[in-house]
Amino acid sequence: MRQATPTVFVVDDDISVRESLESLIRCAGWRPEVFASAEEFLSCPRTPTPSCLVLDVGLPDLNGLDLQKRIALDRIDIPIIFITGAGDIPMSVQAMKAGAVEFLEKPVSEDILLGVIGNAIERSHITLGHQEKMRAIRDSYASLTRRERDVMALVVTGRLNKQIGGELGISVITVKTHRGNVMRKMKADSLADLVKMAVRLRLTVAPKV
């Protein structure tokens, strides 16, 4: 993931702004992709590379704030940097509360914008890394048999093998076998690792007393 050239998306209906930002972004070593409208951006295929979005607020049809709402859930790996020539405090507050990393007024200082873009791309790196780890955990969990999942659910609550065997109606030896399979398939180095994975999968339940 680190080898992929980060992409900086630009959505602005002003062609002069698009051309200026495209040149600036390319000179900084990133890959620019520019769009004149939110609809054009939404039709762009998604790629799993570090990226950010430099977004104008005042766009035709679907404006910047509306676009932010549209991609808030399924494109969390793309931090948004707003730029506007006619912004106000309520507008900036709305954008920041919705997760924007910055709200800048035109004309934007090149140094400031490049710094903000760099920070946003680093955030994207981190988010993509977390998503990749989560996919790996889900894939590992999907490889477990039903009985192994039952054992895992009890193991992460701190139950002993004897207790697990009693609850599931199986022998301690069988519990140990399933437990070993769970650790291997989940690629867990320790019980603490397995518990963390269970928490991410939202499998952890309160231990019985």
pLDDT digits 0-9 by tens, 117-139: 999 999 999 999 999 999 999 99
* pTM of this prediction exceeds 0.95: no
- DSSP label of 30: -
Please give the Cα distance from 172 to 133 (Å, whole number). 32
The CATH topology of domain 143-200 is Arc Repressor Mutant, subunit A (1.10.10)
The CATH topology of domain 7-130 is Rossmann fold (3.40.50)
DSSP conformation letters of 45-87: PP-SS-EEEEEESS-SSS-HHHHHHHHTTT-TTS-EEEEESS-
pLDDT digits (tens, 9 = 90+) for 142-154: 999 999 999 999 9
Closest CA to 81 of 185, 5, 141, 11: 11
Q: How confident is the model at residue 140 (pLDDT cuts 50, 70, 90)?
A: very high
The answer to whether the CB of 101 falls within 8 A of the CB of 119 is yes
Domain layout of the chain by residue ranges: 7-130, 143-200
